[in-house]
Homo-oligomer: A and B are copies of this chain.
Amino acid sequence: MTSPIGGGITAAAGFRAAAVSCGLKADALDLALIVADEAASAAAVFTTNLVVAAPVLVAKRHLAESGGTARAVVVNSGCANACTGVEGMVAADAMATAVSQAIGCRTEHVLIASTGVIGLHLDSTKIARGVADAAIRLGRDTHTAAAEAIMTTDIAPKEAAVRVDTPTGSFAVGGMVKGAGMIEPNMATMLGFLTTDAAVEPDRLRRALSEAVDDTFNAITVDGECSTNDAVFLLASGASGVTIDEAAHAAFVDALREVCGTLAREIVRGGEGATKLVAVRVTGGGSDADARRAARAIANSLLVKTALNGGDPNWGRLLAVAGRAGVAVEPARAQVRIGPAVLFADDTVFADREPAAAAHLAGDEVEVQVDLGTDGDRAATVWTCDLSAQYVRINADYRT
């Protein structure tokens, strides 16, 4: 049984967190530190962007060197430390070293992340001071402050946690994210931090994270971007005494998926200028990849996103985008549904149902579905938000 609980990134036993203002941002929390009482299993997924920020390179290297274990994760906002050349690598290494000295652990047991302006050099002195400050403030009532410290243009901190009761005891999974939706200010950096007190071997942890991310963080889109800094980290302390073996694997992934799904949808809901959370469902696909690709094309279409913003049940745009997505479609057997209303099926338009569809689109959580009409039965869901004039204003004027 799985129940939502409080506690965010420190809901799981064996973890403490702190948030401080180290001066990268004016008068705001800008550095979060998460520390495991003992070396924990660790896994991460990183951006697929070929232009990779220095902290991503360092975190990847440390995970490889440590064989998938870690004691701490440190993250700053206000500076992405991306496109910063050799100096950026030096600053990223220094950030990890500062944590290893402050809490007394091996450098490769420190994972790091940064978010903020591209091309700006990270001030290692400020980071070192902030880390030292954070290390003496670690606690379990600071999880919301930590979620605040990683925010950029996010409207509110985003955290979630669940408790899972199993025959052999209960364990927790918790976490926090900073949103995408064209964030601070160059690309839509998405950072996620997850902890659990289940005992999970590094290999299994990696597999479980990958499975959970695929249906959650990898199934959302705000503007189709993938930043130089995107990363999701998961640490497992084992402090609950519950061990995840093959029999418990699915339940563990389900719990991870619940936390990641909640956080992922919060990111979309908080997309810049967004007024609606939109579930784009594609069915009747010839393959999983086709279904996902069509759903993603629809979720990223300007035509679809602007129609949703206007509350317009413009089913023709949904079908036409599916048609140019590069997947198998059988137009004569395709269907389009908006909320409760099937607006196109069997090559026939049901214009009289548009009012019902429009009423559905007036809400702030909406669902649209395109059945591709192939002989296949593969399906996929991608979450997106609408595109508002407000989004354009935010991103046109960001740095000016």
Contacts and interface: CB of A to CB of B under 8 A. Distances in A.
Contact of A52 (B48, B306, B331): B331
Contacts of A398: 307, 310, 312, 314
Interface in A372-400: 387-393, 395-400
A82 interface: yes
A50 B323 contact: yes
Contacts of A390: 389
Interface residues of A, number: 68
A187 interface: yes
Interface string A51-90: 1100000000000000000000000000000111110000
A85 B322 contact: no
Contacts of A302: 182, 223-225, 302, 387, 391, 395
Interface string A301-337: 1110011011110111101111110001101101000
A85 B346 CA distance: 8
A386 to B, nearest CB: 8
Contacts of A352: none
A83 B316 contact: yes
A246 interface: no
Contacts of A311: 400
A349 interface: yes
A228 interface: yes
A260 to B, nearest CB: 21
A220 B149 CA distance: 42
Contacts of A391: 302, 306, 392
Nearest to A321: B225
A49 B85 contact: no
A119 B315 contact: yes
A297 to B, nearest CB: 9
Interface of A: 47-52, 82-86, 117-119, 182, 185-188, 223-228, 301-303, 306-307, 309-312, 314-317, 319-324, 328-329, 331-332, 334, 344, 346-349, 351, 387-393, 395-400
* Ranked 3 nearest A-B pairs via Cβ: A51-B323, A310-B396, A85-B347
